Amino acid sequence: MPAAPAVRRPVRTVPVLRWLRASLLRSAAILALLALWEAAPRLGLVDATFLPPVSEVARAWWELLGDGQLGEHTRASLTRSFGGFAIAVVVAVPLGLLIGWYRPVAAFLGPLLELFRNTAALALLPVFVLLLGIGETSKVSIVVYACVWPILLNTISAVGNADPTLVRLARSMNLSTPRLFQKVILPASVPAVFTGIRLAGAVSILVLVAAEMIGAKAGLGYLINASQFNFAIPQMYAGIVTISAIGVAFNQVLVAVERRLSLWRVPA
């Protein structure tokens, strides 16, 4: 009896095609921007002296990477930025939970928090320099100050907006305050808290770069400022592109962490 012919399984190309289509759609605007950046100086639409083609910027970036300058400056900036950001998260999240839970404390401190939140961190940079000097302490401190407020205020709001029905239900089950926080308040607060953390992540890089432009001997802000003074324009844009790439990568990491901590949520 002849053997039955082998059945060929259909190749599942539809998910791959969808992924490729989605990737192209997401990257289309970036590719268009790069193409415009490359073409505009070469066609004389802008002065190539002040806006060199993206290929020259890429060449300058590779040279900075090859001679170690880019790595050195990036390492200095990341150490300051992530150090200040981590301190802000450790301080602001527990403090925000505490203030948000005790309403009289929130009402008492609310005006003071609003005052400091609306005081620009860079406006206080001279104060930090006078009090802490021009070393690493003042730079990390200004990052901590700038990052604390979005995390703190979003955490306070998250706790205050927790579903009162769930809170009452948890209390009716005689849950202790620590268990109430663990089972109800913290899970419900994750999205709003991470909104503040993502805002603080962007702020930590932007504020630090500005601080490095004023007084530093290393860092991406220093690299950009020094390149401008030396009229090394491609190197200046290489530093700017590096900052943008770090910001995007850092935000994606925070988004992944938020998704990991929000697996309990049911999609709408």
Using CA atoms, how far apart are residues 257 and 245, in angstroms rounded to an integer?
19
pLDDT number for residue 88: 92
pLDDT number for residue 265: 57
Q: Residue-wise pLDDT tens for the chain (268 aa)?
A: 455 555 455 545 567 677 677 667 777 788 888 889 889 888 888 888 888 999 999 999 999 888 888 889 999 888 888 899 999 999 998 888 888 877 788 788 878 888 887 788 888 888 888 888 777 888 888 899 999 999 998 888 887 777 677 777 777 777 677 777 777 777 777 788 888 888 898 888 888 888 888 777 888 888 998 888 888 899 999 999 999 898 888 888 888 887 877 665 544 4
pTM: 0.79
pLDDT number for residue 111: 81
For the chain, how many residues are written? 268
Question: Within 118-135, where are the H helices?
Answer: 125-132
pLDDT number for residue 263: 63
Contact 213, 225 (CB under 8 A): yes
Using CA atoms, how far apart are residues 43 and 52, in angstroms rounded to an integer?
11
Long-range contacts of 35-44 (CB under 8 A, 24+ apart): none
Amino acid at the residue 13: T
pLDDT number for residue 201: 87
pLDDT number for residue 9: 52
